[in-house]
């Protein structure tokens, strides 16, 4: 069975505050949970990859295309919503061996800075996962922004982060190929 990482959630997140285009003015966005995700993958015995995701997340971000370094994001991931398409494995991942969702039901990420261009860069922040707060960096890039068919305005970003499970107290033995978890955060927001 494979692990899921809190960073994964968090991390979640994160991938968005990073890149901005000079097309739009500074704005605040509400994360659209139906078009945003935190996915992860981890090696299975060194022979293949096991994929999963967190189905529930929420948060906000703001960005100024003229001053991307001033952009911010705050995201919360529901750790109980872990989904690897296998009910028994998901139950194990929620247990004390991994996520301990009875104690740590939420994972959060809050940005502390951004360095890069309007198209891509590195988002720094604090990931709170499995009861541990740790500064991390997420490589982010802008996917796009513009008007939607319903009269709103949207912006989307993608980010990646490789989490070392032991850094967040998730030490269940899965073999040497499974010490890290690769997280991908896809964030889409609607302008407030």
Phi, psi of 95 (to 5 degrees): -80, 180
Asked, for residue 132, whether it belongs to a domain, the answer is: yes
Dist. CA 191–CA 139, nearest whole Å: 23
Q: What is the CATH number of the domain that holds 141?
A: 2.40.128.110
pLDDT reading at 23 higher than 60: no
pLDDT reading at 102 higher than 80: yes
- Number of domains the chain contains: 1
Most confident range (mean pLDDT) of 9-13, 101-105, 114-118 is 101-105
pLDDT reading at 141 higher than 50: yes
Q: How buried is residue 24: exposed, middle or buried, by Cβ count under 10 Å (0-12/13-18/19+)?
A: middle
155 neighbors 192 (Cβ within 8 angstroms): no
Calculate ∠ Cα 105-76-16, nearest 5°.
150
Asked, for residue 168, whether it belongs to a domain, the answer is: yes
Asked, for residue 18, whether it belongs to a domain, the answer is: yes
pLDDT in tens, 37-47: 999 999 999 99
Asked, for residue 26, whether it belongs to a domain, the answer is: yes
Which domain range does residue 118 map to? 6-191
The token pair at 3 is 């692990």
More confident of the two residues 5 and 108: 108
Place of tokens 């996915």: 39
Q: Look over the chain and give the mean of its residue pLDDT values, rounded to a whole number.
A: 88
Q: How buried is residue 46: exposed, middle or buried, by Cβ count under 10 Å (0-12/13-18/19+)?
A: exposed
The token pair at 79 is 């750790």
Asked, for residue 30, whether it belongs to a domain, the answer is: yes
Asked, for residue 1, whether it belongs to a domain, the answer is: no
């Amino acid at each position: 069975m494979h692990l899921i990482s809190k960073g994964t959630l968090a991390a979640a997140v994160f991938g968005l505050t990073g890149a901005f285009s000079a097309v739009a003015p500074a704005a605040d966005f509400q994360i659209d949970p139906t078009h945003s995700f935190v996915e992860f993958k981890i090696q299975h015995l060194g022979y293949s990859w096991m994929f999963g995701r967190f189905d529930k997340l929420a948060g906000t971000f703001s960005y100024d295309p003229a001053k991307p370094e001033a952009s911010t994001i705050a995201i919360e991931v529901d750790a109980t919503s872990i989904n690897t398409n296998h009910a028994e494995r998901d139950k194990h991942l929620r247990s004390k061996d991994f996520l301990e969702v009875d104690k740590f039901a939420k994972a959060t990420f809050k940005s502390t800075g951004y360095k890069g261009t309007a198209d891509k860069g590195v988002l720094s922040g604090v990931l709170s996962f499995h009861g541990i707060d740790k500064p991390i960096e997420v490589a982010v890039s802008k996917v796009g922004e513009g008007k939607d068919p319903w009269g709103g305005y949207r912006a989307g970003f993608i980010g990646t982060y490789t989490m070392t499970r032991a850094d967040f107290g998730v030490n269940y033995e899965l073999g040497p190929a499974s010490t890290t978890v690769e997280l991908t955060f896809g964030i889409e927001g609607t302008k407030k």
